[in-house]
């Protein structure tokens, strides 16, 4: 029993996870420094701001905590049956072996291992972030995917655990995305560089991912609106930018899809710089959706998806009958 409980809360002691307690503590420190030295708040006021009970114990936050527990159990059961990066990498690697480019590859044998490791670390992080951007963007554009992602956006307050406020089907989709994107990079690098491939890590974590978390990744889901310089916000998503992504203001719709890098938003036209807004209103515009009901958070997306498919089938049948009547079909 204790082993299962430990597995549920393992993310808090795993440096590979965003909510690793070390990262959370650093995020709190960054928030306090921001409030005291840049916002000119007293230390006591800053502490009350960071640990605001109205935020951390709101009905929305309580739903986040419940979903964290439920989703952890769900993924513990399902994870062994999902496609892994190793399976993808192995399949692609053996597929690449049939390519007649041995002569070109032999010319790369002289590349120093440190260069290979650095290149692999950067490409691994960048391509993974690139796929996160596009899957996230599609979740806002396609009704079936939005029905799932709306669960995350239904949060009316933000805290680090909000990152786990996702429908399990979205969790599966992102798991498959990770297996694909990471498997592709691993297979290509092992095919090209062989046993020289290595990852630059700290505490077993990709150096760039580690840096992202140490720099306050948990503040993206928080009420601490830390902003970067304008030029930096074209490269890295600031906490304030991601908070705008959750905003109900129409000006912020479909903006700032990036996970760590803002450069994809900049390139593909979805970038929105941070703003000075005292009371950002968060959530989704759906009067029939209760963001505090665990039952609705899990079941309503399924109902909406079934309704979408049902409507599509009705449309197809109607079109078929029309074409039949007009004798366009036999």
pLDDT, position 103: 55
pLDDT, position 5: 78
- Is 285's pLDDT higher than 80? yes
Question: Looking at the DSSP assignment, which residues form a beta bridge with residue 202?
Answer: 205
pLDDT, position 225: 95
Please state the pTM of the whole predicted model: 0.92
pLDDT, position 1: 62
Closest CA to 156 of 75, 261, 56: 56
User: What is the rounded CA–CA span in Å between residue 267 and residue 285?
Assistant: 29
- Is 104's pLDDT higher than 70? no
The answer to whether residue 330 is domain-embedded is no
- For the chain, give the percent of residues with pLDDT over 90: 78
Tokens, residue 251:
């000006």
pLDDT, position 27: 98
For residue 53, give its domain range: 2-325
- Is 329's pLDDT higher than 70? no
Closest CA to 190 of 127, 131, 124, 130: 124
pLDDT, position 318: 66
| 206, containing H or E segment | strand 205-206
- Is 79's pLDDT higher than 70? yes
The answer to whether residue 255 is domain-embedded is yes
Among 7-11, 41-45, 322-326, which range has the highest average pLDDT? 41-45
The answer to whether residue 95 is domain-embedded is yes
Per-residue pLDDT of 224-267, as tens digits, reads 999 999 999 999 999 999 999 999 999 999 999 999 999 999 99
- Is 106's pLDDT higher than 70? no
pLDDT, position 240: 97
The answer to whether residue 35 is domain-embedded is yes
Instruction: For residue 119, name the pLDDT band (cuts at 50, 70, 90).
Output: very high
Instruction: For residue 14, name the pLDDT band (cuts at 50, 70, 90).
Output: very high
pLDDT, position 8: 84
Angle at 238 between CA 159 and CA 129, to 5 degrees: 90
Straight-line distance from the first to the last Cα atom of the chain, in angstroms, rounded to the nearest whole number: 64
At what angle are helices 143-153 and 294-325 packed, to 10 degrees?
A: 160
Per-residue pLDDT of 184-217, as tens digits, reads 999 999 988 888 899 999 999 999 999 999 999 9
Least confident window among 254-263, 280-289, 293-302: 280-289
Total number of domains in the chain: 1
- Is 328's pLDDT higher than 70? no
The answer to whether residue 6 is domain-embedded is yes
| 205, containing H or E segment | strand 205-206
């Amino acid at each position: 029993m204790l082993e299962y409980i430990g597995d549920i809360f393992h993310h808090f002691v795993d440096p590979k996870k965003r909510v690793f307690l070390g990262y959370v503590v650093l995020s709190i420190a960054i928030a306090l420094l921001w409030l005291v030295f840049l916002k000119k708040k007293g230390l006591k006021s800053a502490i009350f701001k960071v640990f605001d009970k109205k935020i951390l114990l709101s009905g929305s936050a309580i739903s986040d905590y419940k979903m964290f527990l439920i989703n952890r159990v769900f993924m513990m059961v399902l994870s062994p049956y999902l496609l892994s990066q190793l399976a993808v990498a192995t399949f692609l690697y053996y597929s690449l072996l049939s390519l007649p480019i041995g002569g070109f590859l032999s010319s790369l044998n002289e590349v120093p291992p440190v260069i290979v490791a650095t290149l692999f670390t950067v490409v691994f992080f960048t391509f993974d972030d690139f796929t996160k951007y596009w899957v996230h963007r599609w979740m806002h554009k396609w009704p079936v995917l939005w029905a799932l992602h709306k669960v995350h956006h239904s949060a009316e307050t933000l805290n680090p655990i909000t990152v786990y406020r996702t429908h399990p089907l979205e969790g599966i989709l992102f798991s498959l995305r990770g297996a694909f994107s990471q498997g592709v990079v691993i297979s290509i690098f092992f095919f090209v560089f062989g046993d020289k491939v290595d990852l630059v890590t700290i505490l077993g974590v990709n150096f760039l991912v580690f840096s992202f978390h140490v720099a306050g990744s948990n503040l993206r889901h928080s009420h601490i609106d830390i902003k970067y310089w304008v030029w930096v916000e074209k490269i890295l998503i600031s906490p304030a930018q991601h908070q705008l992504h959750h905003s109900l203001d129409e000006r912020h719709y479909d903006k700032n899809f990036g996970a760590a890098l803002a450069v994809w938003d900049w390139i593909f036209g979805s970038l929105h710089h941070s703003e000075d807004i005292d009371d950002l209103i968060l959530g989704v515009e759906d009067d029939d959706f209760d963001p505090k009901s665990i039952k609705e958070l899990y079941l309503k997306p399924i109902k909406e998806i079934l309704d979408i498919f049902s409507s599509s089938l009705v449309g197809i049948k109607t079109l078929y009958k029309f074409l039949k009547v007009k004798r366009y079909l036999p």
